Structure 1
Amino acid sequence: MMTKVFVNLPTADLERAKAFYTALGCDISPEFTDENAACIVWSDDIYFMVITREHFATFTDKPIADPNETLQVSTAFSMDSREEVDVVLAKGLAAGGVEPKPAQDYGFMYSRDLDDPDGNSLGFLFMEPAAVEVGPDAYLASQADASA
């Protein structure tokens, strides 16, 4: 079964959020975009709804966290190479995003985080295909054996 994923993110500035996500290479679905929200198309199965904080607050009685102060969710995307991770980070940084910490290189996985201009956390990672197959410990052991 294929499930579509919709991630709802509050934004203090809808136009800025639209510009940021289109700079990453996403499209905007005009059919589901108005003055309160924009539907950001990441892929055929993954969508972001960036929603003004005021409108977002109508969905719940809970307080809306400020993502610059509190991290509740980090959405991570698998990329096909380390280079693709670096390219998407460069695009995001040029569009006003912030890299909150240095790149993480675990030998079997390369990961970088990017906060959008509202502070919402996105992660981008590349994992060696062999590590996916056998697990990180077995992959790292095989790499150590190959270099010995």
Structure 2
Amino acid sequence: MDRMIFVNLPVRDLAATRRFYTGLGFAVEETYSDEHCLCVVVSPTIFVMALDHSRFADFVTTPIADPRATTQLISCLSMETREEADAFVAAALAHGGARHTYPVQPTEMAGPEGEEMYGAAVTDPDGHIWEVLYMAPAAA
């Protein structure tokens, strides 16, 4: 069985969220989307469930964090090439995202045994961090 992951994110504006994720080239599964939720298909086994705050609150008993003020998680997607990573960042910036700057980690880094790794990060319109990472085949 291939396991699936559903990343549930609280969002303030579903229309802006739709523009951002479809601008990255991801599809929306309308069957599981409505006026409070957007189901973004990242891959056949990865989905982003963007829930407006009223719907997200149905699943938690603690306050909903503001990702612009705190960081709770970083979602990282693998890329096939450095160019794909750069294109992802460009698409994110063109569709309402912002560049996320690492406090210490540079864009180019050495992986295991000095193999090439290349990463960058952006935030979606709500401030959720999306990292992209290319690893040379030897590093992967």
Query: Shift of residue 99 of structure 1?
Result: 0.6
Q: How far apart, CA to CA, are the structure 2 residues paired with 1:123 and 1:7? A: 14
Query: Shift of residue 101 of structure 1?
Result: 1.1
| Residue 126 of structure 2: aligned partner | 118
Output the aligned Cα RMSD.
Answer: 1.1
Which residues in structure 2 correspond to 1:86-125 (within 5 Å)? 86-101=86-101, 104-107=107-110, 108-125=116-133
Query: Shift of residue 3 of structure 1?
Result: 0.3
Q: How far apart, CA to CA, are the structure 1 residues paired with 2:80 and 2:30? A: 29
| Residue 62 of structure 1: aligned partner | 62
Structure number having the greater helix percentage: 1
Deviations 1:40-91 (A, max 9, x none): 0011111000000121011110111001111101110010000000001000
Q: Work out which structure has the larger RCO, using CA pairs closer than 8 Å and 6 or more positions apart in sequence.
A: 2
Structure number having the greater strand percentage: 2
Identity %: 39
**Ranges in structure 2 where 5+ consecutive residues have no aligned partner:** 111-115
Q: How far apart, CA to CA, are the structure 2 residues paired with 1:34 and 1:92? A: 23
Larger of the two Rg values belongs to structure: 1
Q: If the length of structure 2 is used for normalisation, what is the TM-score? A: 0.91
Deviations 1:14-44 (A, max 9, x none): 1110110000000010100001101000111
Query: Shift of residue 100 of structure 1?
Result: 1.7
Q: If the length of structure 1 is used for normalisation, what is the TM-score? A: 0.86
Residue 57 of structure 1: SS of its match in structure 2?
helix
